[in-house]
Structure 1
Amino acid sequence: KIICLIILLYAGKSFISKIYNIKDSIKYIYINNVIVLILSKLNYCINNNIIIYRKGLSAGNFINKGTSETIRNNIDLIIEILLYNKVVKTIKDISVHIPKHNRINNDNDLGYYLAGLMDSNSEIINNNMIIHFNNDDYSYMYLIKKQIGYGSIIKGNNCKLIIKSNGIPKVLNLINNKINNKILFTQIINYIKLNNLNIDFILNNNLNILNNYWLSGYLDVNSKFDINLNLINNNLYNIDFNLYIKAPLNDKNNIDNNILNLINSNLKGYIYKDENNNAIYNINSLNIVYKYIMYLRSYHLMSNKYLTYIYWRKTYIRVQNIIWYVTNGIPKIDYYNHETEISKIENNAIKLNKLNNKT
């Protein structure tokens, strides 16, 4: 199969050794600090780690014969690529069709989603369970409240779902063996002891977070999907896919956080500390972007953040569809970047509300 996008994995060494007779139809971009060569409207083929273009010669008819010097004399373009691991990598394709947005419809999925939501930002105070959420997400929190069957929602600068003592046992049964937040776990254990509840509550013991709704719930509160597009010159772009996930640090001198470590063990990125003493996880490869897209295909986001994610996903498709991307994709990606910044607007909240109310 002929491919039109080559991704070279950087390994600390110079890995493009020679470039011959570069033409205007060739573009270079950086995607998350990985060099991508885009060849548009060229006849070319790949032989080992050499991309060869010859005017009037189709890739399927290419025959490798003679020395490399002979080949150089007979073709218009050779880009010789030396890779550290001697392997050419390609971007993984995803479907251009957006999966149908489905609501959670069983207690097991609801429990994992609630556990992720509560691991993000919740607490037990004065015998009340309080789940904090973003101001623009109150409409979908009504759906969560309806599915739980208990609680009241307070809107304002500090939006929250408050579940009183009559509803807490049901929530605890839903999230049992599903939460990962150790501080929340301690609060729950203290609540169970104080109220003499007959619940054997345990922490999550499943280290695989990619086969349930826990991560979706966590992302709905404590994440930011981001696209950065910078034009370096006429032939060079820098495109960054970012997914920031935040968790507070108990010790400002220790960046260790068990939740971000759990996410990082499943979806390898990097963790750092910001100026507000939060631990921040971010991604650093297209392969991880692909894995998130595959995960969120099955376990949908439920908040307004879903719409931001859709623009993030569409950007990946533009990178994937290279020939179209070279001619029209950059303006589109710039538009998607703008949309991720303005996603928290009333119209988008209305759109998401319609999606969530579909049967």
Structure 2
Amino acid sequence: YINKRSIRSINSNQFVFYDYLAGLWEGDGHLWIPKNSHAPSGKKYHPQVDITFGEKEYPLVLKLKSLIGDTIRHKKNNNAYVLTLSSFGDLDRFIKLVNGRLRTPKIIKFLDLINWKNNNYYSESLTCISEPFDTNLLSNSWLAGFIDANGSFDIRINPTRVRFRLEQRKEFLNKSYEPIMKQISQEFNLNLSLSKHNFKSYF
């Protein structure tokens, strides 16, 4: 039974890591951007990038923290760890690492993050590479990150069956995940199907 992320994807080739991180965040990451610039106490709000991991993936969480910062939160009730980036330096680094490497509708939120950065810090204006990354899926490590976030293997004993499964929500901010999921299925000569769990649709 295999259901873990491969630390071997993170090696000395920095571009391998950039693509992997982009796929990992697009697969199971979250971005919160504050509506107000300051809290009632006067503290300045910063956006927050989160990536969620299962408890058994803690070694990978530690490795990622050493590479991109910031904090790790243990959600015991959910058997999960959450890697959080919230300081300006870590957010700025995250933007520069994955900019131009995103392939899914989450690029919409990523653009919001860049706009927030440009509106709040004027030292360096950044431009979002808004066109989805369209290189071959098998030419870099983006797919490895995306699969590590949402993929799984299982073995059924009777009848004997080994299965790899990759699921992703149907839409994000009214933009469909079908193009990227169809591209992945075509790479492996498979059919794409639609399923429902708790009244939500997934590819």
TM-score range normalised by the length of the shorter chain: 0.7 to 0.9
Pick from 152, 159, 173: which aligns with 2:96? 173
Say if 2:136 is the partner of 1:211: no
Structure 2: how far apart are the matches of 1:186 and 1:171?
Answer: 15
Structure 1: how far apart are the matches of 2:194 and 2:9?
Answer: 35
SS in 2 for 1:162: strand
Unaligned runs of 5+ in 1: 1-100, 232-238, 281-359
CA contact (8 A) 1:209 1:215 kept: yes
SS in 1 for 2:21: helix
Say if 2:117 is the partner of 1:195: yes
Q: Which residue of 2 aligns with 1:115?
A: 22
Q: Which residue of 2 aligns with 1:160?
A: 82
Pick from 269, 291, 302: which aligns with 2:190? 269
Amino acid across the alignment from 1:226: D
Amino acid across the alignment from 2:162: F
CA contact (8 A) 2:99 2:128 kept: yes
Change in Cα spacing, 1:200 to 1:102, as seen in structure 2 (3 Å) is closer
Say if 2:184 is the partner of 1:279: no
Say if 2:149 is the partner of 1:221: yes
Structure 2: how far apart are the matches of 1:191 and 1:122?
Answer: 14
Structure 1: how far apart are the matches of 2:61 and 2:112?
Answer: 26
> So what's the TM-score if we normalise by structure 1?
0.43
> So what's the TM-score if we normalise by structure 2?
0.73
Superposed displacement of residue 102, structure 1: 6.6
| CA displacement 1:96-125 (0-9 Å, x = unmatched) | xxxxx5742232111100011011011221
Structure 1: how far apart are the matches of 2:57 and 2:140?
Answer: 22
CA contact (8 A) 1:107 1:174 kept: no
Structure 1: how far apart are the matches of 2:54 and 2:201?
Answer: 18
Change in Cα spacing, 1:246 to 1:173, as seen in structure 2 (3 Å) is same
Larger relative contact order (C-alpha < 8 A, sep ≥ 6)? 2
Pick from 34, 46, 65: which aligns with 1:145? 65
Structure 1 residue ranges, 4+ long, deviating more than 6 angstroms after superposition: none
SS in 2 for 1:190: helix
CA contact (8 A) 2:51 2:82 kept: yes
CA contact (8 A) 2:9 2:17 kept: no
SS in 1 for 2:89: coil
| CA displacement 1:287-327 (0-9 Å, x = unmatched) | xxxxxxxxxxxxxxxxxxxxxxxxxxxxxxxxxxxxxxxxx
Amino acid across the alignment from 2:109: Q
SS in 2 for 1:104: coil
Q: Which residue of 1 aligns with 2:107?
A: 185
Superposed displacement of residue 139, structure 1: 1.9
Aligned residues: 169
Superposed displacement of residue 136, structure 1: 1.9
Structure 2: how far apart are the matches of 1:102 and 1:136?
Answer: 17
Structure 1: how far apart are the matches of 2:201 and 2:11?
Answer: 30
